[in-house]
Structure 1
Amino acid sequence: MNFITPVELPAHLPCLRHTDHLLLLGSCFAANMGARFTEAKFSCDVNPYGVLYNPLSISAALREIVFGKVYGKEDLFFFRDCWHSPMHHGDFSSPLADETLKRINGRIAGAHEQIFRSACLLLTFGTSWVYEQKNTGRIVGNCHKLPEKEFTRRRLTIDEIVSDYVSLLSGLLARNSGLKVIFTVSPIRYVREGMHANQLSKSVLLLAVDRLQTAFPENVFYFPAYELVLDELRDYRFYAEDMVHPSEVAVQYVWERFSSACFSSETLQIIEESENIRKALAHKPFHPGSEEYKRFLGQIVLKIDRLNGKYPYLDFQKERELCHTRLKI
């Protein structure tokens, strides 16, 4: 008997390798998946603007990355004792404008350096609802708890999203014809909108991505994270305490389905060996200074050396430093 509604994965998703540079932007779900890419030793930049929810803020961030925008104090505003950027998550905010600008410009510079060498963009749309500043008409990435009266809240149309991304992707592909773009729609429900409004919002995103696939059949792909959570994991035990965000188990399940669709057997083997090293280092010894534990750490270093010898592009610097620090205890 089958106790789930299986979601069929697309047959021709890009095959991603550890030699590929990846750029992930979008909602909290993009951050969750990005953390797994990082743990799996992929070269990737995850949310250089922090979490972004709507398609037009994501595309605006990509354009700024492409042009290497340098933020100045005129791009910030001061509210509740901190300097904020309307394009960035609150993680970039600071009581000092110079500190906020340092955080913002550092991340943009890093992403700009890699954007045209990236093999794949993974973009996660969260909602088609946006907040436009009344005084500028600009769609913001984050309201930073400014009074709601300062914004006009509206839902994007399919045509708006498609038109914006056709222009954006045409420019990116002109510079990097081999670029692959994988879209996902976040399974996180925006309950503030109401359940029906949330479904309408998600449908706009799904239809927009479908049209983009038609416009760029060789470069644009869709991975059904939304459907996997809502159809295969149709149970509240797969949600966090707020009953809105997917649980760690659900995110891990989606990651495993993504891995099976986008990774070769060699890539999966690298991930497994890297995960074994990570788990070994997470082990808490009863006697950190013992010779037995030092031999254990030495074995981990040997495993890292062996894996790096075969795949020199894998970055194990943090793991090496941790081993050497513990060996000195």
Structure 2
Amino acid sequence: MKFHYEFDIKKLPEPITHKDKLFLIGSCFTENIGEKLKRSGFTIMENPNGILFNPVSVAEAITGYIENVSIDEKDLFYLNEGWHSWKHHSRFSSITAKDSVEKINTATGNANSFLRQADYIMITLGSAWVYTLTEKALNARVGSIAGNNHKAPSDWFNRKLLMLEEVLKVLDNVIHRIFLFNSKARIIFTISPVRHLREGVIENNRSKALLIQAVHHLVDKFDKLFYFPAYELVIDDLRDYRFYAEDLVHPNYFATQYVWEKFVDASMNEKTRSLIKEIQSIQLAYQHKPFNVASEQHKKFLKSFYDKTAALVDQHPYLNLEKELAFFKSGL
């Protein structure tokens, strides 16, 4: 018997390898995949502004990286004993404006450098619902879209669903900006399977449908754009609440692992998949908790994985396994 519906996924014409640099931006699902890429030995940068859900905030962030836009303290606002930016996640907030500005500008500068060299840019869109700032919002341009609400009062925002034309315009523009900035870049679009039920079930489906339509229009238009069906894998393939966390909103470990395996199969060749397995065995050893760190058995274990890791780095010098090598060496 079949208990889920599997479908074919179009493979990337140029598979991703460990030599490639991958830039990821978008919803919290971006960070699920980003963590798996990091643990598999890839060179990545993810969400330099923090998690962003809507296409306007994503496009504004990418434009900011390309232009290497710096901010200063006048661009922040003070709320609940902290300084915040309307364009950034709360992880960039701080009890001092100076510290927040420093974190934001450092992240932007690093993103500028990385984005210029990126081979693949993965954009995950979560929602077409946006929250525009009202005249009550502190230090805000009325009508501009907040990337994060920072638990501000509800009357600081107006909610609206973007029109298809608005999404197409903002994404089309940022795609052109990316290709002018980095002509070798290829872009992979995904739609997050995270359900935005705070908007309502019908409203969430309207939003996802709008994003899917916009993205496919753009993928058909540009040669270096691709679509990976993360949303469809969870919604149509797995299609069961047992693959969601208790909140019934976020895909659980088994769902994200399933999507990851499908992504690897669709975007990487056999040589890269084999290298991932070797790196994952090193990661398991790196996370191993011994009963007795001073035992000869544990020292032999560390020596074995130090030699294995060093040999792998010699063979693939673009792999960043410095912390693993240092860990294995420290116990010898």
TM-score, normalised via structure 2 length = 0.95
Matched length: 326
Query: Structure 2: which amino acid aligns with 1:230?
Result: I
**1:316 matches 2:321:** yes
Deviations 1:231-258 (A, max 9, x none): 1111111111111100011101100000
Which moved further from structure 2: 77-86 or 167-176?
A: 167-176
Deviation for aligned residue 1:14? 4.3
Report what 2:312 is aligned to: 307
Within 5 Å, give how 1:223-262 maps onto structure 2: 223-262=228-267
Query: Structure 2: which amino acid aligns with 1:148?
Result: S
Which moved further from structure 2: 119-128 or 233-242?
A: 233-242
Which moved further from structure 2: 139-148 or 11-20?
A: 11-20
Deviation for aligned residue 1:187? 0.4
**1:155 matches 2:161:** yes
Q: Is the 8 A contact 2:51 2:89 kept in 1?
A: yes
Deviation for aligned residue 1:9? 0.8
Report what 1:140 is aligned to: 146
- Give ranges in structure 2 of 5+ residues lacking alignment: 136-140
Secondary structure of the corresponding residue to residue 131 of structure 2: strand
Q: Give the Cα separation in 1 of the matches to 2:127 and 2:14.
A: 25
Report what 1:66 is aligned to: 66
Deviations 1:116-160 (A, max 9, x none): 211111000000000111232211100111111111110111111
Q: Closer, same or farther in 2 for the Cα pair 1:12/1:45, shift >3 Å?
A: closer
Q: Give the Cα separation in 2 of the matches to 1:316 and 1:270.
A: 13
Report what 2:224 is aligned to: 219
- Give ranges in structure 1 of 5+ residues lacking alignment: none
Within 5 Å, give how 1:250-289 maps onto structure 2: 250-289=255-294
Report what 2:177 is aligned to: 171
Q: Closer, same or farther in 2 for the Cα pair 1:141/1:110, shift >3 Å?
A: same
**4+ aligned runs moved over 4 Å, structure 1:** none
Deviation for aligned residue 1:74? 1.2
Report what 1:117 is aligned to: 117
Deviations 1:253-292 (A, max 9, x none): 1000000000111111111100000111222211111111
Q: Is the 8 A contact 1:20 1:43 kept in 2?
A: yes
Deviations 1:271-326 (A, max 9, x none): 11000001112222111111111111011110111101110010011112222333
Percent identity between the aligned chains? Answer: 38
Secondary structure of the corresponding residue to residue 70 of structure 1: coil
Deviation for aligned residue 1:15? 1.2
Q: Is the 8 A contact 1:7 1:227 kept in 2?
A: no
**1:297 matches 2:306:** no
Q: Give the Cα separation in 2 of the matches to 1:74 and 1:236.
A: 46
Q: Is the 8 A contact 2:20 2:42 kept in 1?
A: yes
**1:190 matches 2:196:** yes
Q: Is the 8 A contact 1:63 1:168 kept in 2?
A: yes
Query: Structure 1: which amino acid aligns with 2:296?
Result: E
Deviation for aligned residue 1:165? 1.5
Q: Is the 8 A contact 1:7 1:231 kept in 2?
A: no
Deviation for aligned residue 1:28? 0.7
Report what 1:22 is aligned to: 22
Report what 2:138 is aligned to: none
**1:37 matches 2:37:** yes
Q: 1:325 aligns with which of 319, 326, 330?
A: 330
Query: Structure 2: which amino acid aligns with 1:41?
Result: G
Q: Is the 8 A contact 1:13 1:221 kept in 2?
A: no
Which moved further from structure 2: 260-269 or 168-177?
A: 168-177
Which moved further from structure 2: 7-16 or 35-44?
A: 7-16
Secondary structure of the corresponding residue to residue 271 of structure 1: helix
Q: Is the 8 A contact 2:63 2:177 kept in 1?
A: no
TM-score, normalised via structure 1 length = 0.96
Q: Is the 8 A contact 1:132 1:153 kept in 2?
A: yes
Q: Give the Cα separation in 2 of the matches to 1:199 and 1:37.
A: 29
Report what 1:99 is aligned to: 99
Q: Give the Cα separation in 1 of the matches to 2:14 and 2:106.
A: 30
**1:131 matches 2:168:** no
